[in-house]
Amino acid sequence: MLKSKTFLKKTRAGGVMKIVREHYLRDDIGCGAAGCTACGGAHEGPALEPQPQDPASSLCPQPHYLLPDTNVLLHQIVSAWRPGTWDSVASSLRLPGSLETYVEQEQGENANDRNDRAIRVAAKWYNEHLKKMSADNQLQVIFITNDRKNKEKAVEEGIPAFTCEEYVKSLTANPELIDRLACLSEEGNEIESGKIIFSEHLPLSKLQQGIKSGTYLQGTFRASRENYLEATVWIHGDNEENKEIILQGLKHLNRAVHEDIVAVELLPKSQWVAPSSVVLHDEGQNEDDVEKEEEREQMLKTAVSEKMLKPTGRVVGIIKRNWRPYCGMLSKSDIKESRRHLFTPADKRIPRIRIETRQASTLEGRRIIVAIDGWPRNSRYPNGHFVKNLGDVGEKETETEVLLLEHDVPHQPFSQAVLSFLPKMPWSITEKDMKNREDLRHLCICSVDPPGCTDIDDALHCRELENGNLEVGVHIADVSHFIRPGNALDQESARRGTTVYLCEKRIDMVPELLSSNLCSLKCDVDRLAFSCIWEMNHSAEILKTKFTKSVINSKASLTYAEAQLRIDSANMRDDITTSLRGLNKLAKILKKKRIEKGALTLSSPEVRFHMDSETHDPIDLQTKELRETNSMVEEFMLLANISVAKKIHEEFSEHALLRKHPAPPPSNYEILVKAAKSRNLEIKTDTAKSLAESLDRAESPTFPYLNTLLRILATRCMMQAVYFCSGMDNDFHHYGLASPIYTHFTSPIRRYADVIVHRLLAVAIGADCTYPELTDKHKLADICKNLNYRHKMAQYAQRASVAFHTQLFFKSKGIVSEEAYILFVRKNAIVVLIPKYGLEGTVFFEEKDKPNPRLIYDDEIPSLKIEDTVFHVFDKVKVKIMLDSSNLQHQKIRMSLVEPQIPGISIPPDNISNMNLNGPEKKKMKFEK
């Protein structure tokens, strides 16, 4: 049957357009119930279970299907997670297309009412249809709606209907399910006295109007980690000024949550504020202390010089919520028997969430997941509901799970569908594989990696040619041979984007069979590789570049240390050693050239844990050591990446996947320049080269660590390097490496970007064929976006893992005091770095229950004067490190000042000597064990 729809629409230009559309009503949509003779096999897609296995409900004892209305489905999808709980009838969206259940909009009926009616008609149709199908087994469809009127009408029409809450309460088997219901009921919102705290959000249509006319700005809301009353909004678009707007105070934040897309209104200049340097955490247990909040807000507004003021605004509406389920812990309410509790998310940027649960006592001390349902105007905190219990706090598994979840790292085991695309074992190289491949098994190739590395994705060789030149080859695991475009394995790796290395665990991007076996270029086995071979002269100038797919047989898998030993040893003369020496010689020249061009050598304190082999507890911390061989491998990887980047960009100017590192805006360097100035050093930041040179010059004979500190600070000034699609951008420059073009080619086992680059290169040299998604620059741009996100998240997850293990380490170690250097100076705190552990921490000078010391903060130098002692950046101090477990959720390393001594603030040294005594003793005991 054909229905025609005619309606008038206003166009963007303001004209009125008449739109005529056809609508074909189908008579071939089945009901989806298995064995329904009336519909035959017309149904496709997921079918209903023949006999719904619902948990017993006291409201409707006979077997039944559920038909939730759209709102219930949208809001309760989390509770719908659990299989077996909701056997919902095929989604209501499909039914209106069917002939029997088509509902036309009546005069004066709005779209929502029509939808509701359509769902009711569908429910009725289903009930009659199922009755026809089998009179004896009494199947029923139950309509679930939270809309009172809708329910009344349904009952009138003879459809069994319940509200969500009624139904879930009636489920005798699952009493805990009620906690998981999103509390949306109107009564639920009136928890508080009704005092309205926040101003209303404007409707979307008004926001869009405002954004178009420029009165409002659209941007991503980013809450501050350090101060819950402050946030910034990153404005979308390329408008250079007003890129970032500051929001201050609860009312101006107006219920926006981290990552939401919001519309903000700029405040008049007279109300602009400067970003406060105060560290402030939301700790109030009771909810309604709005007055107190205002007091605190006042505290932020200290007098500052005119030019420090930044554009300030307030949130007028939310364009898109980006809520997700949050990990965190329950802060049990003080009132006994209370069912409403506050939940504190692990991420400090997320406000606390009020949830309703009856299992507070069991959930105490556990990590749980909670989802936000809404944030009414009269409530200090958003409302949410309990989703999942992860386990005890402090347990290593729980904490790892939390940090993976919090950083959105996909870490489930690979599905069957994914594994089905793995090659069958035992695997060997076949004739077919040899097509388009060069046999390089005779070459003396070896790999150099950190100790314990099982996913070896690069190997090297170097030999002298007959004409006296050198042939250097970089051989990369040919992952794209195993991961074919478009299949489940490819999709899963694309989604994961990168392998995540945590302290004691590796979350693989590709299944282990590939990562640690077939793709890993282990020694003495034949492996498929993608080789990049250069002919160079002895001054490391490239004469010829060749890319080819190949088969290699690595002669040795060395660690950095082993390789270094071979190079240094006087009496080893075998092929591998000569090869390594040749590589090392060339690498040194390459590095020199690169640095001459202005590549930066930056520094960041990296630490490694020595793990106890049984308990996997960290026993010792060590900063990473760098050898010549590290930089040798790195140099050739850079060279390969640059060569490949040139090649693929030459071949595919529109859709090459490249990596760029934008130059940071000059303002980023302010901290560095000021800090150096305080030491009478000058840092030039106009170009990468001058920065590199001035960093090299910045030495102090009395203070050898200063240079490293400056480099650490410089690292903080940098921008993130990102992947992009060459057709979507025209700035390709890599600032840090001082290369006009760059990409990632050398680690396809652990980075998906490399897999794409491999495919592009394979097409470019005619070794493989292209596929549609590869040549679509929009698809490629989407991939880049995901990869950038995953890489960022993986980095954060790694840091979080290190932080957690540092805590474990200090837990076992007890209290120690160490030398530290000041990295930053804040208004009420200093941030220090402890070189011995590569550990960074904050020393606060304000405590809640103590009288505040006299603090004078000078932003220009920057320095902080406490009583009579002045702290500058890079000053050496002594701090005491201990684990603060007072807040179970955020166990943290607490640092307090030991030296210089300030009465009333620093800790008296005799106190420490005691602790120092305790420390070694404990250690001894451990050895005895």
Partner 1 sequence: MAGLELLSDQGYRVDGRRAGELRKIQARMGVFAQADGSAYIEQGNTKALAVVYGPHEIRGSRARALPDRALVNCQYSSATFSTGERKRRPHGDRKSCEMGLQLRQTFEAAILTQLHPRSQIDIYVQVLQADGGTYAACVNAATLAVLDAGIPMRDFVCACSAGFVDGTALADLSHVEEAAGGPQLALALLPASGQIALLEMDARLHEDHLERVLEAAAQAARDVHTLLDLVVRQHVREASILLGD
Q: Which amino acid is at 468?
A: G
Q: How far is the CB of 14 from partner 1 (least distance, A)?
A: 12
Chain position carrying tokens 């046999």: 439
19 binds partner 1 (CB under 8 A): yes
* By CB under 8 A, residue 303 contacts partner 1: no
Q: Which stretch binds partner 1 (CB under 8 A): 267-275, 311-319, 495-503, 766-774?
A: 766-774
Q: At its nearest, how many Å lie between partner 1 and the CB of residue 73?
A: 15
Binding test (CB under 8 A) with partner 1, winner from 94, 114, 222, 627: 94
Q: How far is the CB of 330 from partner 1 (least distance, A)?
A: 37
Interaction between residue 18 and partner 1 (CB under 8 A): yes
208 part of the interface to partner 1, by CB under 8 A: no
Least Å from the CB of residue 435 to partner 1: 20
The CA radius of gyration of the chain, in Å to the nearest whole number, is: 32
Residue 795's φ and ψ, nearest 5 degrees, are: -65, -45
List of residues 6+ apart from 831 with CB closer than 8 A: 822, 823, 824, 825, 840, 841, 842, 843
Q: Which of 359, 545, 775, 798 binds partner 1 (CB under 8 A)?
A: 775
17 lies in the site for partner 1, by CB under 8 A: yes
Q: Which residues lie below 8 Å from residue 187, measured CB to CB, with a gap of 6+?
A: none
Nearer to partner 1, 95 or 164 (CB): 95
Rounded CA-CA distance 710/676 in Å is 8
The residue (of 17 and 290) whose beta carbon lies closer to partner 1 is 17
* Total site size for partner 1, rule CB under 8 A: 22
Q: Own/partner pairs for 303-308, CB < 8 Å, 24+ apart?
A: 304/273, 304/274, 304/859, 308/274, 308/859
Nearer to partner 1 by Cβ, of 23 and 924: the residue is 23
> Strands 140-144 and 64-68, how do they pair?
parallel
Burial (Cβ within 10 Å: 0-12, 13-18, ≥19) of residue 447: buried
User: What's the closest the beta carbon of residue 17 comes to partner 1, in angstroms?
Assistant: 4
Distances (CA, A) of 74 to 81, 106, 241, 473, 485: 12, 26, 39, 56, 34
Cβ of residue 235: shortest distance to partner 1, in angstroms? 23
The three-state secondary structure class of 235 is strand
Q: Does 766 bind partner 1 (CB under 8 A)?
A: no
Maximum Cα–Cα distance for the chain, whole Å? 97
| C-alpha–C-alpha distance, residues 796 and 539, integer Å | 40
Give yes or no for a contact between 746 and 754, defined as CB atoms under 8 angstroms apart.
yes
Is residue 111 within the footprint of partner 1 (CB under 8 A)? no
105 binds partner 1 (CB under 8 A): no
Select from 10, 12, 14, 15 the one that contacts partner 1 (CB under 8 A). 15
Q: Where in 44-63 is the site for partner 1 (CB under 8 A)? A: 44-45
Instruction: Indicate whether 770 belongs to the interface with partner 1 (CB under 8 A).
Output: yes
Q: Which lies closer to partner 1 via its Cβ, residue 361 or residue 653?
A: 653
Q: Verify binding: residue 771, partner 1, rule CB under 8 A.
A: yes
Strands 161-162 and 140-144: parallel
Task: Calculate the CA 271 to chain-centre distance.
Answer: 34
Q: How far is the CB of 4 from partner 1 (least distance, A)?
A: 8
Contact status: 21 vs partner 1 (CB under 8 A): yes
Identify which of 823, 843, 859, 858 has the alpha carbon closest to the alpha carbon of residue 902. Answer: 843
For 222, other C-beta atoms within 10 Å of its C-beta total 17
Contact 678, 871 (CB under 8 A): no
In the bound complex, what is the minimum distance in angstroms from residue 748's beta carbon to partner 1? 23
* Residue 799 binds partner 1, judged by CB under 8 A: no
Rule CB under 8 A: say whether 465 interacts with partner 1: no
Closest CB to partner 1 among 321 and 646? 321
Q: Which is nearer to partner 1, 16 or 135 (CB)?
A: 16
DSSP characters over 472-501: EEEEEE-HHHHS-TTSHHHHHHHHH-B-EE
Report residue 139: phi and psi, to 5°: -75, 145
- The tally of CA atoms less than 13 A away on the side-chain side of residue 313 is 24
Tokens of 344: 């504190």
In the complex with partner 1, the residue whose CB is nearer, 48 or 633, is 48
Binding mask 659-698 for partner 1 (x = CB under 8 A): ----------------------------------------
The nearer residue to partner 1, 617 or 776, going by C-beta atoms, is 776
* Helix (H/G/I), strand (E/B), else coil: 2: strand
Cβ closest to partner 1, residue 766 vs residue 904: 766
Determine which residue in the list 55, 97, 665, 666 makes contact with partner 1, applying CB under 8 A. Answer: 97
> DSSP string covering 57-102, please?
BSS--S-EEEEE-HHHHHHSTTGGGSTTT--B-S-TTTGGGBSTT-
Residue 7 binds partner 1, judged by CB under 8 A = no
Contact range with partner 1 by CB under 8 A, out of 19-27, 122-130, 735-743, 887-895:
19-27
| Identity of the residue, 15 or 35, whose beta carbon is nearer to partner 1 in the bound complex | 15
Tokens linked to 776: 């679509």
Q: Do residues 821 and 709 lie in contact, with contact meaning Cβ atoms separated by under 8 Å? A: yes
Stretch that binds partner 1, among 17-25, 213-221, 265-273, 611-619 (CB under 8 A): 17-25
Q: In the complex with partner 1, which residue's Cβ is closer, 94 or 689?
A: 94
Nearer to partner 1, 108 or 772 (CB): 772
Q: Which of 25, 488, 572, 722 binds partner 1 (CB under 8 A)?
A: 25
Helix, strand, coil fractions of the chain, as percent rounded to 5: 30, 25, 40
* Candidate list 24, 35, 212, 270; residue touching partner 1; CB under 8 A: 24
If the CB atoms of residues 93 and 917 are measured against partner 1, the closer one turns out to be 93
CB of 68 to partner 1, least distance (A): 18
Nearer to partner 1, 417 or 769 (CB): 769
Residue 655 or 758 with smaller CB distance to partner 1: 655
Which residues, 268 to 287, sit near partner 1 by CB under 8 A? none
Sites of contact with partner 1 (CB under 8 A): 2, 4, 15, 17-26, 44-45, 94, 97, 770-772, 775-776
